[in-house]
Structure 1
Amino acid sequence: MSSAALAHPPLRHAEEFLSCAPDGLYEGGGYYDSEVPLALLRATHQRHGQSIRTIARLAPALQAERPMPTFLGGPDAGFLDNLTAHYADLNRSHRQLAPTLLVEIDNAVIFRNQIMALRDGALVPIYEINRPNERYYRTADSQSVRDTALPPMIVHGAGNHLFSGSIGSFNYGHWLIDDFCALAALQEVERGEGPARVVMTATTPAIDTIRREGLDAASGRKAPLEPLFLHSGAAHLFPKLRYITPITYHPVLKHPDWLAAGVALCRQAFDEGAIDRTLRRKLRQIALAAHALGYRLLEPDDPARSPRLFVNRGAGYRRQLTNADEIRPLLQAFGYREVLPETMTLRRQWATFSRATHVVGIMGAAMSNVLFAGPDVRVLHLAPGGWYEPFYWDLASMRGLPYAALYGTPEADHGPDHLRSFAVDKAALAGWLEATHGRAG
């Protein structure tokens, strides 16, 4: 691949959005945008849609069926009633997930983790990466590009380029569910085209290391192509760019077929028998294989070997469990061992959660690893009261797992509900543990 910087006259930012395929994606439902009428998307597509081609239909639409939680506990009965009603409302209002398409976009510009089509001197943002929740977070995080002058573009040469990214790519949990699972389509992306060069907007070194590891796992090759990480402040023009339309509707809908595909990728790459394949890969992957070999030689008392996990958060994270010292002995009495998944490679997180039988953990990115757990796992989510979060309820439902959550008393501060540290009632936790395991000892 070759690239060169291209100075350009000022480009205007179009006010409308360009959908990859408004009829192919939304004619059966799954469109939830009250600010951008579907008719407007269709009109814009009539003007500019010739620059986007549908290559393949990767997954059908989904009609979700989500059972209500088996357990919700906490000190605020009114909040729990409202949360239950919220889930019931979502079961009525957000059940349809659009199908997943593989598309190819002509003259695609990537800037600030956005995809835009360059059409008639205007940058037209792709709708599927600018749906309501994504627009909300872009505005909150000042990621909007419409008021920003585009820098000189780096023009990339021909090749089979695939963009992998979403508004949550900087977060392990959202990357795992929204981005990684979609990499199961790599074989289809490469059909008749040769190896794909995966393009990602760079985030942080820690997350990008995990993303690289995930791509290596998904590629299944002895020497996968090096991903192309783009600086978010630079503008990149691709004559042709492939894109997998969203496999989720954050935070309320995930497709069980894609979740299962992500699990299959990890099983193939990381389970017994996968190490020999990994050792044949290029040198930078040998370290991952050595880590996996080391895991198999861990002492029996290593926390990551325990089938009962207490998922805590490192001290640098918000949403801390303020009475962790009080409840830790209780969990230990029931055989739970504390783990900090943010310190682990993807391989180690797979190994830890895929063998778990019981998980108690603080809601956050690490609890997305419930994706890897088996069908009989029992999970209890711990969270601050006041946080109306359907992400983990939907994830459990789409994996066929019962959903349980224990809410605690948040600290009195002025931050958002979901970021507050909190304390859970020890007696309530003990009740769930005894109902699940019988009495300790």
Structure 2
Amino acid sequence: MFQNLQDKLDRAFKVLKGQGSITEINVAETMKEIRKALLDADVNYKTAKSFTDDVKQKALGENVLTSISPGQLLTKIMNDELTSLMGGTVTELEISKNPTVILIAGLNGAGKTTFSGKLANYLRENKGKKPLLVAGDVYRPAAIDQLQVLGGQVNVPVYVNRESTDPIAIAKEGVEEAKRNGNNVVIIDTAGRLAIDEALMTEIKAVKEATQPHEILFVVDAMTGQDAVNTAKAFNDRLDFTGVVLTKLDGDTRGGAALSIKSVVNKPIKFIGTGEKMEALDVFHPDRMASRILGMGDVVSLVERAQQQFDEKQAAELQKKIRKNKFDFNDFKSQIQQIKKMGNMKDLMGMIPGVSKAIKDVEIDDNAFKPIEAIIDSMTPFERENPDAIDQKRRLRIAKGSGTDLNEVNKLMKQFADMRKVMKQMSNPGMAAKMMRNMPKMPGGGLGR
């Protein structure tokens, strides 16, 4: 996410490396590089200029403490200003009304239908809501089918009227259906449209007037950069939407839309899409995104994603098994599947401070777990529950059945045994404390070397 922008900002900060103080000359040179990096990332020109002017003014007004370098100080100022540029604070959905009506709008191919499914899943899983999806796209072939499939995946009903070609009537019918069935949120998916298509823009305005939505979310493909911002402005002039959704942030995104949209249309980014899976939707946190753009990671979001996937009751039961050294391959596979649900692996690793820069040129395949899962699937139920019983003969059969070789099976078995040993040690508080006390005595002088 935003890798090119990260790299260019990193190079800009190098201007201040080794400098004893911030001066008019070196900060001007740094700001020139930062402005160039922002423009290359397709950030709106006025936004980029105003941003660098603000950062420069604040940098020159600060005294550099002896304990921090000019580069560190500028990073802190940049982090604060990027956070402010993207909205400053989180803007939650207004979902207190019953039913709350949410209208989804945007261009063709922006990902509105997929987002509608993700939003329904988010509201059901995280907010305890009972949503209804309304299939209001009467123009795109298979749009209704797509929404029904997504609704089935997230266990949310979909209102469909295949006899009608009137999106205004369908939207109104959907709201009435929600009232009859006790659905407290209505999500109306609409057809993609160009801002210059007067008939379609008039139509969606009529849908708005007919349904009186509490939220209007403008969905935009983050990869379109500055074009996304211009489109958002045109849509906002007609619809006065309440928030923006940036999709496809897991792709080759330059960052222009995320950094420009709030300053241009003065509407908050409410959600970001970070993958194709239904769980790959995050509430937009400007401060966390600023940290990620500057390569500082985002541990809070990583922990939140983990908490969403890992069940507390299951975790407690797993802890008991670990203490008794009963952690088996069924448990191991279950953990892998939960990790995979958290999202794109490279994106997840980029949330860890310092890792983003280290892995920028490394290809991390989301299918990396497949050989491990194939090996586990080739085991019998007895073998999965009793890893110690897997002898050489069994390993040969497992290798053959999984399409791998004996070396891969042996490697997994060793890693599993080592992992199980460490997990058992760490589950014992006395043993964990002893390991931490002995850390400095280990070869190489412990951590940080």
Bigger Rg over Cα: 2
TM range (shorter): under 0.3
TM-score by length of 2: 0.24
Which structure ranks higher in relative contact order (CA pairs < 8 Å, sequence separation ≥ 6)? 1
**More helix by proportion, 1 or 2?**
2
**More strand by proportion, 1 or 2?**
1
TM-score by length of 1: 0.25
